[in-house]
């Protein structure tokens, strides 16, 4: 029930005139600050006079307090008074100030001309591959959701082939002349998806937006963006897909939920994609409030690798002595002999450093690593056979034929979702669909147990539905 | 209390003295506070540039040949990468309340350097255009932390940004300041950053020409 927080967007005006303008596709659906408008002062004044652009206060004042209409922030300590340049004592929002200061006297300019006419693409999809029966089932439900402007949770296991599953639904939406947004919390996912989708939809104007991206939105019909980019949109999209909806930072940031809800048109289809929905989504799914389709099998038809638990009670003691926990050491040797490539997940950056030092300068990556992209590519190109990482590589990345180890799997950072995602890194290629996944632990946590159960559950579901 | 910079909640440690006297709440958390680098050790006595020995630096020797209007500059912080981010958010993004990050340190550095209270504070003005864009003058915000009388004695004519210019460009530019209110008493100019000293020298020259007996400067950061 991710959007059920009381959010009212009645302040967004409906079209005031049926007059259109060549600017409509570029200007509609955005929260413009006057300084950012891609227009000259005269053009702006002209559009305001004709009623095509309308001023709306950016910060609202209610009996219970103030709210920033861009980021939805209502926290009192983050909406502070100041001696504003306008001569009054205004309040401004500190929460989204990086995007330009919003003060009590600031207005948005919103498009109130005719809605832009988005192109109706006939047979937009150039992809010719074949979907598996499970993927087809998911794809059909997505097409239905597009047609009846509903909501849908696509609960698809890691490696189910979610992107391909979207193609029929996207094609349908484009045929209906809809505007589409595929949003995800992670910018690496945006970068990865753009070329794939552009290839599948070669004649559609697609813009990939993230902090520091080269693309800008000049009125593209199809937008792939980080969820942060949605802070600029209002009533813009007829179809929104939120990929990896349970991932950081989206799941824990109310600003982004607010922005996503505002970016949707009044009648729109909303599709959540994830392998590991969090509690609130699961609950609405079980309560039948959120229509759900399961895709319990990978695209290659083999079951998910089920993690093994190996006790390593010497974990804490051995690292300071520059030693590896014994069970892990044995496992690593075995992998070396079998010439398997290995990815090792550790809970902290510090442990990644220590482990890399013990393993004689093994390569490790973490979120603040400037060479992260290069190192991941090296591993993908098989230039290195062992990669140590924090949870940043838990999702969105595919390496063919690898085995997976988690050190100190009982650590708090490894929650159920993270562990399911980590286990989902193994056995992703059709040529090598099996992989060894081991959770090394010093006392198993309930997250570990639940993660294993969730994986077994999906495998069982796949077996059952196949029959 | 949440940290003014990172917004993390700070949970004060409870010790025996807490029972007797409530502790003063800190504006900034310890992790953030440790990133600020207060200027210490030997520096040029005229412009506060960090030096191996406390002697007049080569830039100031050149200044003395050209113009002796500005007697001395005192700065609070070193210009490190952290400070760059803080200044960017405060001044360019316009997060006005961030002046609270510096307030205590501004007061203590200022009282240490200028023990006498016989002076007027004159903040370096922004051009009207720039003021409209930012909504506030950062130099005035610094001056307002101190309890000396503030006189907005200057106005600025041109509007080019100093930070977008090279050193040679800066040195060649003409004096952008006009005195709108002559002051016949000592003045302490206030600004956010001392880089080449060009801006402050111009302001000092303008004030001295209108009869100000002594001009010094107080800046937040030594660039």
Q: How confident is the model at residue B159 (pLDDT cuts 50, 70, 90)?
A: low
Q: Which chain B residues touch A92 with a CB distance below 8 Å? A: 94, 96
pLDDT at residue B215, rounded to an integer: 95
Residues B24 and B62 in one domain: no
Integer-rounded Cα Rg, in Å, for chain B is 19
| B27 in the same domain as B69 | no
Burial call B135-164: b when 16+ CB within 10 Å, e when fewer:
bbbbbbbbbbbbebeebebbbbeeeeeeee
What single string gives the DSSP state of each residue in A229-282? Answer: GGGGBSS-EEEEEEETTTSTTGGG-HHHHHHHHHHEEEEEEEEEEESS--HHHH
Express each pLDDT in A346-372 by its tens digit.
Answer: 999 999 999 999 998 789 998 888 888
| Residues B158 and B122 placed together within one structural domain of the fold | yes
Radius of gyration (Cα) for chain A, nearest Å?
A: 24
Of A156, A162, A426, the residue nearest A304 (C-alpha): A426
Where is pLDDT greater, at A415 or B17? A415
Q: Do B199 and B117 belong to one domain?
A: yes
Q: Is the domain of B5 the same as that of B52?
A: no
Instruction: Using the predicted structure, report yes or no on whether residue B199 has a pLDDT greater than 80.
Output: yes
> Domain check: are B30 and B71 in the same one?
no
Q: Which residues of chain A have pLDDT under 50?
A: 1-5
- Sorted by where each begins, the domain ranges of chain A are 23-111, 133-295, 308-466
| Number of cross-chain residue pairs from A and B with Cβ atoms under 8 Å apart | 34
On chain A, the residues whose CB falls within 8 A of the CB of B93 are 97-98, 100-101
* pLDDT score recorded for residue B222: 94
Q: Please give the residue of chain A at the shortest CA–CA distance from B134.
A: A85
% chain B with pLDDT above 70? 96
Which of A346, A324, A455 minimizes the C-alpha distance to A410?
A: A346
More confident residue, B166 or A288: A288
Residues B23 and B123 in one domain: no
A101–B95: do the CB atoms touch at under 8 Å? yes
- Residue A2 confidence (pLDDT): 42
Residue B167 has pLDDT above 80, yes or no: no
Picking from A80, A86, A103, the nearest residue to B97 by CB comes out as A80
CB contact under 8 A, B95 and A97: yes
Asked if the model's pLDDT at residue B163 lies above 80, the reply is no
What is A133-295's CATH topology? Rossmann fold (3.40.50)
Which residue in B2, B93, B97 is closest to A98 by CB distance? B93
Nearest alpha carbon to residue B143 among B201, B92, B187, B81:
B187
Judge if B125 and B145 occupy the same domain: yes
- If pLDDT is split at 50, 70 and 90, which confidence band does B118 have? confident
β-pairing, B154-156 vs B187-194, is: unpaired
Same domain, B12 and B64: no
Reported as a single tens digit per residue, the pLDDT across B41-72 is: 899 999 999 998 888 999 999 888 887 799 99
Search chain A and give the residue with CA nearest B89. A98
Reduced 3-state DSSP string for B70-83: EEEEEEEEECCHHH
Model ipTM value: 0.88
Chain B residues near any Cβ of chain A (below 8 Å): 2, 7, 89, 93-97, 131-132, 134-136
Which pLDDT value is given to residue B88? Answer: 94
> Mind listing the pLDDT tens digit for each residue in B26-44?
899 989 999 999 999 899 9
- Return the residue of B nearest to A82 by Cα: B96
Task: Report the residue from B7, B94, B131 with minimal CB separation from A101.
Answer: B94
Task: Examine the domain organization and report whether B212 and B103 are in the same domain.
Answer: yes
Q: Assess contact for A267 and A149: CB atoms under 8 A.
A: yes
Distance (Å, rounded) from C-alpha B119 to C-alpha B139?
A: 17
User: According to the model, what pLDDT value does residue B160 have?
Assistant: 60
What's the rounded Cα separation, in Å, for the pair B136 and B93? Answer: 11
| Burial of B67: CB neighbours in 10 Å, binned 0-12, 13-18, 19+ | middle
Angle of CA points B50, B56, B59, to nearest 5°? 80
CA distance B136 to chain A (A): 6
pLDDT value of position B116: 83
Residue A99: closest CA among chain B residues belongs to which residue?
B93
| Nearest-CA distance A319 → chain B (Å) | 27
Topology of A308-466 in CATH? Rossmann fold (3.40.50)
Q: How many CB atoms lie within 10 A of CB B202?
A: 21
**Chain A contacts of B2, Cβ < 8 Å?**
77
Q: Do B2 and A77 touch (CB under 8 A)?
A: yes
Q: Do domains A133-295 and A308-466 have the same CATH topology?
A: yes
Tell me what pLDDT residue A246 has.
92
Token pair for A413: 């950072």
Residue B162 pLDDT class (50, 70, 90 cuts): low
Q: Which residues, in sequence order, are CB contacts of A9 under 8 Å at separation 6+?
A: A234, A235, A261, A262
* C-alpha distance from B135 to closest chain A C-alpha (Å): 4
Residue B161 has what pLDDT? Answer: 65
Total number of domains in chain B: 2
Contact flag A97-B94 (C-beta cutoff 8 Å): yes
Q: Which domain holds residue B21?
A: 1-34
Question: Do B30 and B53 share a domain, yes or no?
Answer: no
Please work out, in degrees rounded to the nearest 5, the angle formed at the alpha carbon of residue B88 by the alpha carbons of B187 and B153. 20
- Within 8 A by CB and 6+ apart from B115, the residues are none
* Chain centre distance of CA A39: 32
Contact B135 A103 (CB under 8 A): yes
Cβ-proximal residues to A425 (8 Å cutoff; 6+ apart), any chain? A158, A343, A393, A394, A397, A398, A399, A402, A404, A435
**Are B9 and B40 in a shared domain?**
no
């Amino acid at each position: 029930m991710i959007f059920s927080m009381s959010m009212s967007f009645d302040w967004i005006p409906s079209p005031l005139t049926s007059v259109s303008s060549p600017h409509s596709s570029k200007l509609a659906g955005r929260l413009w600050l006057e300084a950012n408008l891609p227009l000259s002062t005269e053009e702006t004044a002209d559009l305001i006079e004709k009623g095509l652009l309308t001023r709306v206060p950016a910060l609202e004042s209610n009996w219970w307090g103030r709210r920033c209409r861009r980021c939805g922030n209502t926290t009192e300590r983050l909406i502070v008074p100041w001696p504003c340049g306008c001569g009054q004592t205004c309040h401004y929002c500190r929460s989204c100030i990086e995007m330009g200061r919003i003060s009590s006297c600031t207005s948005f300019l919103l498009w109130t001309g005719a809605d832009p006419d988005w192109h109706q693409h006939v047979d937009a999809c150039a992809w010719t591959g074949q979907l598996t029966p499970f993927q087809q089932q998911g794809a059909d439900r997505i097409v239905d959701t597009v047609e009846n402007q509903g909501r849908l949770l696509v609960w698809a296991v890691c490696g189910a082939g979610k992107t391909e599953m979207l193609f029929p639904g996207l094609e349908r939406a484009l045929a209906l002349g809809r505007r589409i947004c595929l949003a995800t919390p992670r910018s690496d996912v945006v970068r990865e998806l753009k070329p794939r989708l552009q290839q599948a939809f070669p004649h559609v104007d697609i813009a990939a937006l993230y902090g520091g991206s080269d693309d800008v939105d000049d009125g593209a019909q199809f937008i792939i963006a980080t969820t942060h980019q949605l802070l600029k949109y209002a009533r813009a999209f007829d179809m929104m897909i939120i990929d990896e909806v349970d991932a950081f930072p989206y799941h824990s940031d109310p600003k982004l939920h607010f922005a996503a809800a505002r970016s949707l048109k009044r009648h729109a289809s909303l599709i959540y994609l994830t392998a590991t929905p969090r509690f609130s989504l699961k609950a609405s799914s079980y309560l039948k409030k959120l229509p759900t389709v399961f895709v319990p099998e990978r695209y290659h038809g083999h079951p998910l690798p089920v993690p093994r638990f190996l006790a390593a009670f010497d974990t804490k003691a051995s690292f300071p002595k520059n030693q590896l926990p014994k069970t892990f050491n044995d496992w690593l040797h075995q992998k070396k002999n079998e010439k398997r490539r290995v990815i090792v997940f550790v809970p902290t950056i510090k442990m990644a450093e220590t482990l890399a030092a013990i393993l004689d300068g093994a390569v490790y990556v973490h979120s603040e690593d400037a060479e992260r992209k290069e190192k991941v590519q090296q591993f993908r190109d098989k230039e290195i056979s062992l990669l140590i990482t924090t949870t940043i590589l838990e999702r969105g990345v595919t390496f063919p034929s690898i085995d997976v180890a988690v050190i100190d799997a009982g650590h708090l950072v490894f929650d159920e979702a993270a562990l399911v995602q980590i286990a989902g890194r193994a056995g992703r290629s059709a040529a090598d669909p099996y992989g060894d996944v081991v959770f090394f632990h010093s006392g198993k946590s309930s997250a570990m147990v639940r993660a294993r159960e969730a994986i077994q559950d999906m495998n069982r579901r796949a077996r059952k539905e196949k029959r | 209390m949440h940290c003014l910079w990172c917004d993390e909640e700070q949970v004060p440690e409870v010790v025996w003295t807490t029972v007797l006297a409530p502790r003063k709440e800190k504006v900034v958390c310890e992790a953030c506070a440790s990133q600020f680098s207060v200027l210490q050790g030997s520096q040029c006595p005229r412009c506060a540039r960090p030096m191996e020995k406390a002697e007049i630096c080569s830039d100031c020797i050149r200044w003395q040949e050209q113009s002796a209007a500005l007697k001395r500059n005192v700065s609070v912080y070193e210009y490190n990468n952290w400070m760059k981010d803080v200044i960017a958010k405060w001044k360019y993004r316009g997060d006005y309340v961030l002046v609270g990050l510096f307030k205590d340190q501004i007061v203590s550095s200022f009282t240490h350097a200028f023990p006498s209270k016989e002076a007027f504070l004159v903040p370096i003005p922004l051009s009207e255009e720039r003021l409209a864009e930012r909504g506030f003058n950062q130099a005035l915000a610094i001056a307002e932390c101190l309890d000396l009388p503030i006189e907005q004695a200057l106005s600025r004519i041109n509007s080019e940004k100093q930070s977008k210019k090279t050193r040679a460009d800066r040195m060649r530019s003409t004096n952008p300041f006009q005195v709108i209110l002559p002051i016949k008493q000592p003045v302490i100019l206030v600004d956010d950053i001392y880089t080449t000293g060009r801006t402050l020298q111009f302001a000092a020259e303008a004030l001295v020409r209108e009869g100000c007996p002594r001009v010094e400067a107080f800046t937040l950061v030594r660039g």
